[in-house]
Amino acid sequence: MEFLNDLRFLDILDVLLVATLLYYVYKLVRGTVAINIFIGIVVIYLIWQLTVLLKMEMLSTVLGQFIGVGMFALIVVFQQEIRKFLLLIGSANFSRRSAMFKNLNLLKKDEAVLTDINAIVKACENMGTTQTGALIVLRRTTSLDFVKSSGDEMYIEINRPIIESVFYKNSTLHDGAMIIEDNYITATRAILPVTQDKTIPLRFGLRHRAAVGITEKTDALALVVSEETGQISYIKNGAFVLFDSPEELQKMLTEDLS
């Protein structure tokens, strides 16, 4: 009862804010290799607090020093996630603040997806059948102007024949990436940053590495159609997302863009 009497509203708010922060950090690293590191850090921190509570001075001192020095190591380990979070905050202008909070799931109201996802998926299916290589980047909140300027800027409403004609093997526009914003193709032949991740299997070529690179540096989504196998790859947050069917891919894209 004494504990309840001493409990302030600010104490409850403090706990809720910390829990919310940990939840969004978890969502940021979920699905990446960093999730195991994040869980390991949380476990070590909880053990440290337990040793402090039990007054195990030697172990608590060692763990405390590890936690203190480990903060610098975290900046190196989570540099991609920290960069993405800062890009999310810094690149969202005042007219797109709601999009930033929507991306963090702070606003629960669902909004209709403007992008014709069905046309994109169908085009990828057709290009996969003919083994036509393609690289498509879909903007979410982070500005892609730095890659759009490297290619041919345009403003064409999305439809399946247009997408397929851009990546047709004899087309002058098929090299590089297609940038899609809302329901418009805003650039073709865009040059993307290539990831330096050495763990990507050698069977994946430059298109896949470029797709991983742009999704590491921004919150954009990327679709790649392999010229060798015709397989469609979906890349998000610098990682390959597995799916079993075009319908499942379409559903995931709808969720990620909404």
Domains and CATH numbers, the chain: 2-103 (no CATH), 117-257 (3.40.1700.10)
Which one-letter amino acid corresponds to residue 184? Y
Residues 163 and 119: their CA atoms lie apart, in Å, by: 9
**What is the maximum span of the chain, computed from C-alpha positions, in angstroms?**
78
- Please give the pLDDT value at position 106: 46
Mean of pLDDT over the chain: 82
pLDDT tens for residues 98-133?
A: 444 444 444 444 556 788 999 999 999 999 999 999
Residues 94 and 80: their CA atoms lie apart, in Å, by: 24
Q: How far are the Cα atoms of 80, 130, 184, 224, 252 from residue 119, in angstroms, in the given order?
A: 31, 17, 12, 15, 15
Residue 144 and residue 180 in contact, taking contact as beta carbons nearer than 8 Å: no
Residues of the chain with pLDDT > 70, as a percent, come to 78
* HEC letters along the chain: CHHHHHCCHHHHHHHHHHHHHHHHHHHHHCCCCHHHHHHHHHHHHHHHHHHHHCCCHHHHHHHHHHHHHHHHHHHHHCHHHHHHHHHHHHHCCHHHHHHHHHHCCCCCCCCCCCCCHHHHHHHHHHHHHCCCCEEEEECCCCCCHHHHCCCEEEEEECCHHHHHHHCCCCCCCCCCEEEEECCEEEEEEECCCCCCCCCCCCCCCHHHHHHHHHHHHCCCEEEEECCCCCCEEEEECCEEECCCCHHHHHHHHHHHHC
Lowest mean pLDDT among 71-80, 85-94, 121-130, 185-194: 85-94
- Please give the pLDDT value at position 109: 47
- Please give the pLDDT value at position 46: 87
Quote the pTM value. Answer: 0.63
- Please give the pLDDT value at position 35: 66
Residues 60 and 9: their CA atoms lie apart, in Å, by: 30
pLDDT tens for residues 31-54?
A: 555 666 777 777 888 898 898 888
